[in-house]
Amino acid sequence: MALVSAVLVGGAVGLVVLTAGPLYRAARGPTVLDRAIAVNAVGTTTIVVLALLAAAFDEPGFLDVALVYAVLNFLLSIGLSRVVLDGGEVL
């Protein structure tokens, strides 16, 4: 059990380190939609990190948080693309 938990926590730490790439693109993407794609990638990584920590610490309540994060991430992407398509200059 301890080895499985260590592997899951290690995977979560690796994913958090790899989030630096999408954060860089979100900081200096030339357009709003570059930033939207980068934020979508960060949110997807957040879902996996929450699920991995739920399995590592044996707390299934984190999975509900991950489900809510998934729904909010999808709604953020769809809403942001609609706003940009309607011509609103967000940034």
Residues that bind another protein (CB under 8 A): 1, 3-4, 7-8, 10-11, 14-15, 18-22, 24-25, 30-31, 33-34, 36-38, 40-41, 44-45, 47-48, 51-52, 54-56, 60, 63-64, 66-67, 70-71, 73-74, 77-78, 80-82, 84-85
In whole angstroms, the minimum distance from the beta carbon of 13 to another protein comes to: 10
In whole angstroms, the minimum distance from the beta carbon of 88 to another protein comes to: 11
In whole angstroms, the minimum distance from the beta carbon of 71 to another protein comes to: 8
Q: Which amino acid is at 33?
A: L
62 CB-near residues (< 8 Å, 6+ apart): 50, 51, 53, 54
Cβ–Cβ < 8 Å for 36, 81: yes
- Residue with tokens 């989030």, as numbered in its chain: 19
Cα 18 from Cα 34, distance rounded (Å): 18
